[in-house]
Structure formats: structure tokens, C-alpha cells
Amino acid sequence: MLRVIGAGFGRTGTQSLQVALEQILGGPCYHMKNVLALHPDHIETWRAAARGDAVDWEQLFDGYFAAVDWPVARFYAEMLTTYPEAKFILSHRDPERWYDSTARTIYRVRDVLGSAAWRALLPLLGKRRTFVNMVDEVVWDGHFAGRFSDRTHAIAVYEAYNDAVKHAIPADRLLMFEASQGWGPLCAFLGLPEPEGPFPHVNDSAAVNRALWVLSAIPWVLLVLAVGAVGALAAVVGSML
């Protein structure tokens, strides 16, 4: 059963928080990357949640001690009643810096995977083919009404959301947290001892940018391979005539 739920948007230090929670809780923490890598069968459940359908949250998070990042943050209100003993963490950062970080990383991933070339390839990826649709429905359309590229609008949504979380969750169950604060506030809030060693700071911007380069190249590589295969086939057929 979930003990800790992250209500903060992606790109507010959620991956660092994931690693930190796994370390101090001694169990796995759910994150957006888990959906694609480990639980493609969860994609349709998150799409159903975005439509307002009932979701069995306990079944979805079976085996997890904590959950952070999108798509979790979108549904903090539902989890507030489902997990009455859970504590919530609202990770946050300066709104301008949050927007810049999001725009140059995960929003660019959305653009690449939403390209015509990738949409042609997605049917080959099994259950993962609907991941792009899920992220659109939960995050870019669900949170930002399809207007994330409007900087003023996106930042206003971010700030209004944080205010709503602070008003909805009782103060004794909510921690406002920035990764730069380190172990102290987090461990005090959870009533757990501070681990030895520094707080994990996982800045995955470079990794995201490398992934973007690879993702952008894949359709072209496959096209070249396909053209090469067609050429080889033509040569073989020609030799038979």
C-alpha cells in the first residue's frame, strides 16, 4: 500500500525524489518511466482515469511503497481519500525554471513521438503504442488544455495547481519540498532516519536530450534500412530474370 504520494508536476525533481524515497522506504516508487518500461498494461488504466472512469488504485500500485511524477500527480485528489494514511509531497521549483526545463525536455519528447514518422511506427510497439496518447490525455491536454506552448498559460496552470494542492491536503499530511533541501525536511516529515551519504540529485536533462537525438534518428535509420532491403530484393529478383 502506498505510504507516500507525490503531487508535484514532472520536472520538479521527481526523479531525485523517487530515488530518495526508494532509499528511505526500502521499496519501489512508481514514476512515469515505470509506465513505459515496466507496466505498459497500465497505459489504458491511466487513459481511463483521464476520462473520469473509476480506477482500482490499490491494484494499480500493488507492490509500490510510493508514487511520484505524472501521471500520478494528476489524480492526487482521488488518492487523498483512497489512502487516508498516506503522506503527500508537493515537489516544486521556480515556475520560470520549471517551464524552461519541461519545454526543452519532456515536451520535446512529446513532439518527436507525435511526429508523422513515429506515429507510423507506433503500431509496431504493442501496448506501448498508446503511451503517447496517454501522456497527451493525462498531461498536455489534461493539465494544460493543449496549450503548454503558451508559456504564460502553462505557468499559470502550474501555480494554480500548486495552490489547489496546498488547500486540498491537510497541512499535517503535506510537505512542500525542493530537492535542494536534502534529506532533512523529507525524513523529518516521514519520521524516518536520514541515510548516510548525500541526497540523490538526478538531473536527467542530458539523458533526455540524448534520448531525443536517438528518437529523432530512429525513423530515418529504419527508412534507410527499408530502402536498402528493397534495393537488395530488387537486385536478387533482377538476377533471376
**Nearest-angstrom CA–CA distance, 102 and 121:** 25
Q: What is the pLDDT of residues 33-59, one digit of tens each?
A: 899 889 999 999 999 999 999 999 999
> Once rounded to an integer, what is the mean pLDDT over residues 17-39?
95
| Pairing label, strands 87-91, 29-30 | unpaired
pLDDT for residue 157: 98
pLDDT for residue 54: 94
Q: Is the previous residue joined to 84 through a cis bond, with omega within 30 degrees of 0?
A: no
Query: Considering only 3-7, 38-42, 162-166, which range has the smallest mean pLDDT?
Result: 38-42
Task: Identify the CA nearest to 92 among candidates 16, 194, 206.
Answer: 16
Task: Identify the CA nearest to 68 among candidates 133, 22, 129, 128.
Answer: 22
pLDDT for residue 217: 52
**Nearest-angstrom CA–CA distance, 7 and 227:** 47
Confidence at 5, pLDDT banded by 50, 70, 90: very high
Query: Considering only 16-25, 85-94, 123-132, 210-219, which range has the smallest mean pLDDT?
Result: 210-219
Average pLDDT over the chain, rounded to an integer: 84
| Pairing label, strands 87-91, 174-177 | parallel
Q: What is the pLDDT of residues 190-236, one digit of tens each?
A: 999 999 999 998 866 566 555 554 555 554 454 444 333 323 322 32
Q: Is residue 241 predicted with pLDDT exceeding 50?
A: no
Contact, 134 vs 43, CB < 8 A? yes
- Grid coordinates representing 205? 536533462
pLDDT for residue 125: 64
Confidence at 25, pLDDT banded by 50, 70, 90: very high
Total Cβ atoms within 10 A of residue 206 = 9
Confidence at 109, pLDDT banded by 50, 70, 90: confident
Confidence at 144, pLDDT banded by 50, 70, 90: very high
pLDDT for residue 85: 96
> Once rounded to an integer, what is the mean pLDDT over residues 116-141?
78
3-state secondary structure the chain: CCCEEECCCCCCCHHHHHHHHHHHHCCCEECHHHHHHCCHHHHHHHHHHHHCCCCCHHHHCCCCCEECCCCHHHHHHHHHHHCCCCEEEEECCCHHHHHHHHHHCHHHHHHHHCCHHHHHHHHHHHHHHHHHHHHHHHHHCCCCCCCCCCHHHHHHHHHHHHHHHHHHCCHHHEEEECHHHCHHHHHHHHCCCCCCCCCCCCCCHHHHHHHHHHHHHHHHHHHHHHHHHHHHHHHHHHHHC
pTM of the model: 0.83
Which burial class, exposed, middle or buried, applies to 138 when counting CB atoms under 10 A from its CB (0-12, 13-18, 19+)?
buried
- Greater confidence (232 vs 78) lies with 78
pLDDT for residue 228: 38
pLDDT for residue 120: 67
pLDDT for residue 105: 85
CATH code: domain 4-101+131-203 is 3.40.50.300
